[in-house]
Amino acid sequence: MQWMNENGISVYLQMSPKSLFDRLSQSKPNKRPILIGKTEEELFNFITEKLTEREPFYQQAHLIIDHINTPIDDLIILLKKNQ
């Protein structure tokens, strides 16, 4: 994370475990081998665990954006401001 912050702009598009679960449940599992064979409960628990594990790194991003409630036009403006 330090290298990314020193060499560019890092952005964390923050989503809740439920939002990520909904999105991943709709995706093709063969595109994400680590998810193959997981039940819905296992998938939700996996997502929650990984977010908890990675959150300290994600919080170091230059920009932290609520991905669900930020319109794309606002996201573009935020990114341009931080170039």
CA distance 10 to 67: 14
User: Amino acid identity of 23?
Assistant: R
For the stretch 31-72, pLDDT in tens is: 888 888 899 999 999 999 999 999 999 999 998 988 877 888
Tokens representing residue 54 in the block: 């990675």
What is the predicted pLDDT for the residue at 31?
Answer: 81
What is the predicted pLDDT for the residue at 70?
Answer: 81
What is the predicted pLDDT for the residue at 55?
Answer: 96
What is the predicted pLDDT for the residue at 68?
Answer: 78
- Of 22, 46, 23, the C-alpha closest to 34 is 46
Biggest CA pair distance of the chain? 42
